[in-house]
Structure 1
Amino acid sequence: MTQVAQQTIAASDLPERGQPLAGGIFVTRYWLNGEERALVQLDDELSGAWGEYGLDVPGAKSYSDGEANTRAMAEAGSEIAIKALRLGAHIPSCLEGQLVMAAKADGLVTLREDRFHWMSTQYSADSAYLMVFELGWLRSYGKLLERVVRPVRSLPIQ
Structure 2
Amino acid sequence: MTQHAQQSVAAADLPERGQPLAGGAFVTRYWLNGEERALVLLDNELIGTWGKYGEDISGAKSLSDGAANTRAMAEAGSDIAVKALELDAHIPSYLEGALLMAAKADGVVTLREDRWHHLSTQFSAYSAYFMDFEAGWLGDFVKDDERLVRPVRSLPIQ
| TM-score (norm: length of structure 1) | 0.98
The percentage of aligned residue pairs carrying the same residue is: 74
Q: Which amino acid aligns with 1:104?
A: K
Q: CA deviation at 1:84?
A: 0.1
Partner of 1:127: 127
Q: Which amino acid aligns with 1:83?
A: K
SS for the counterpart of 1:84 is: helix
Distance 1:149 1:155 in 2: 19
Q: Which amino acid aligns with 1:3?
A: T
Distance 1:3 1:92 in 2: 18
Would you say 1:152 and 2:152 are equivalent positions?
yes
Distance 1:140 1:120 in 2: 11
Q: CA deviation at 1:3?
A: 2.1
Would you say 1:35 and 2:67 are equivalent positions?
no
Partner of 1:63: 63
Q: Which amino acid aligns with 2:85?
A: L
Partner of 1:51: 51
Question: How many pairs were matched up?
Answer: 157
Q: CA deviation at 1:4?
A: 1.2
When the two chains are superposed, the root-mean-square deviation of aligned CA atoms in Å is 0.5
Q: CA deviation at 1:50?
A: 0.1
Partner of 1:19: 19
Would you say 1:102 and 2:102 are equivalent positions?
yes
Any idea what the Cα deviations from partners look like across 1:82-139, whole Å, max 9, x if unmatched? 0000000000000000000000001111111000000000000000000000000110
Runs of 4 or more, structure 1, over 4 Å off, are none
Partner of 1:4: 3
Unaligned runs of 5+ in 2: none
Unaligned runs of 5+ in 1: none
Q: Which amino acid aligns with 1:66?
A: G
